[in-house]
Amino acid sequence: MLIINSRLSLKKIIYLALGLFILIGCSQTPNKTAGDDHDDHDHAATNTELTLNNGNKWKADSTTNHNVVNLKTIADNFRIKPFPSATDYQLVGGDLIAGVNTLIRDCKMSGPDHDALHHWLEPVLKEINDLKDSKDTTSARATFESLDKRIDDYHKFFE
């Protein structure tokens, strides 16, 4: 049983868990999970902004593309909800986290294309967490709109 220092907030725990998913979640080995003790390639997190690959889109595998389409579907279905509450935004944040967890679990990409995926995914994860932590509809709406655009931007950078 893991005992967590009471000074750690739930938000910090979520960020820590998501950071671990980012750092060790993707792999090129089937059936590997985020809890595995090792990884086949480096996942050093960076804050570099995503750019095209010498003017071309990065190559993503079909599974990753499918999982991003699922994220977009979650966002599209939520966008048509009339007058969402802060709680509604928090709930869709949970749905998006589940979708990202599937994307990470199923990831088999490697190399520079994989690194580029992380550059796209890191700010998406941050905004999902912000959405889950939102307390009012005004900030939640702004976060959701930004997150929705980031999900759309995936297809500007990946094929």
Counting the structural domains of the chain, the total is 1
Q: Which residues neighbour 145 within 8 Å (Cβ) at sequence distance 6 or greater?
A: none
Output the domain CATH number for residue 79.
Answer: 1.20.120
Q: What's the domain range around 133? A: 59-159
Residue 142 belongs to some domain of the structure? yes
* Mean of pLDDT values over 20-47: 41
* Domain presence at residue 127: yes
Q: What is the pTM of this model?
A: 0.72
- Average pLDDT, stretch 129-140? 95
For residues 38-66, average pLDDT = 75
| Rounded Cα gap, residues 121 and 46, in angstroms | 11
**For residues 131-141, average pLDDT:** 95
115 in any annotated domain: yes
14 in any annotated domain: no
User: Quick check: is 7 in a domain?
Assistant: no
